[in-house]
A and B are shown apart, each in its own frame.
Chain A
């Protein structure tokens, strides 16, 4: 139920953005987050973006894991 999927923003129109999940496009409501830019990744749950995701953060996660494993 709490499944949320990352998608790329391809269009922003007021409260609504068009996002792309692997080729499938969908309208999502973006009023729960600060307005994203085109090309940003957002985490989508039941038709709403709940978080902006920075692709660099993914690499940051790997760095944090390395640190944890080194300790």
Chain B
């Protein structure tokens, strides 16, 4: 990182500011159950031991914030099936996640043509270099990652290129969780999803459910300050959307990126792994782009997904923020990053994987 960004990073980790925020939080003396929905926030919170700084009456739980964890097994099965006769390009995050019976990594070992790429551009390059082959990109991720898929489709992608669209969107999922009731008093909204969508889409949720929300950055002080802002709202009986991450998030978000998403995608209702079908919380390609829709281009058999591929029952609670890794009898014992049982342990952004690497001890 360049000198400036390095210096900036340390500005956001100043001990004396952290101590002041924690003092303020303690003085407020406001019990609360706060949910965030972002694997990167969980990484910050656990890696920097933020839970250990908070009073015992403040609980910070993780909602369904890891796109890898919530991609249903049968959509991974679709990618596995397509890799038998085509090249399937994926983001590395998906490589080890199991479908109903196999993961993409096992399928690759068994001869599936699966290529891990850092960027979608690399996937279109593979298509250009292999004009005789079909190249399918397994497009996962939330609003942070969906604009890239849209940008490629709007810029004359190669004819032998298509998208297996598994994008999901956050606000309808928050609506679902709040409607179901998870005992949440405040929400930390995801900073990079919000960089794209802006602060505005969260406002109806605050009105409908009287829920305080703060959009937060990813440095430890960003998260601590956001928790303090939420606690103040809760204490004052307010329910508004505040933006702590002003250096990246605006009220209307990234208008260019949102425009491209609007041209290419429409809302669809599909399930999230560990959760039921959530209305309008998925994206599908519009009809104009059906030539690039792998589900239209290929006949993909339907594979049953009754178990939803979650072999660990505790994952279902952890994904909804209703449980913590330490509540699971398998955690650290039979379920480890080298030998994961549930999806929350497989992805490096899964709650259990992060807890395994950085610890879960709460210091009173």
Contacts and interface: CB of A to CB of B under 8 A. Distances in A.
Question: Do A and B truly interact?
Answer: yes
A51 B248 contact: yes
A45 B192 contact: yes
Contacts of A45: 144-145, 148, 192
Contact of A2 (B144, B155, B221): B144
Interface string A23-34: 000000101111
Interface in B225-278: 225, 228-229, 232, 244, 246-248, 254, 256-257, 260
B206 to A, nearest CB: 19
A61 B24 CA distance: 18
Nearest to B217: A61
What does DSSP make chain B's interface, helix, strand, loop or mixed? Answer: helix
A1 B151 contact: no
Contacts of A7: 1-2, 5
B62 interface: no
Nearest to B121: A47
Contacts of A55: 4, 8
Contact of A32 (B20, B67, B151): B151
A6 interface: yes
B68 A1 contact: yes
B303 interface: no
B120 to A, nearest CB: 7
A31 B155 CA distance: 11
Contacts of A3: 40, 192
A48 B147 contact: yes
Contacts, number: 132
Interface in A55-71: 55, 57-62, 64-65, 68-69, 71
Nearest to B66: A1
Contacts of B142: 1-2
A66 to B, nearest CB: 9
A32 to B, nearest CB: 5
Contacts of A4: 144, 192, 195
B254 A33 contact: yes
A41 to B, nearest CB: 7
Given A29-B151, A58-B8, A69 B193 contact: no
B39 A33 contact: no
Contacts of A12: none
Given A1-B145, A22-B6, A69-B20, A46 B225 contact: no
B152 to A, nearest CB: 9
5 contacts: A22-B1, A46-B91, A48-B119, A58-B12, A65-B221
Given A53-B247, A69-B20, 13 more contacts: A1-B66, A1-B68, A2-B145, A4-B144, A7-B2, A8-B2, A31-B151, A43-B192, A45-B144, A48-B147, A53-B248, A58-B8, A69-B24
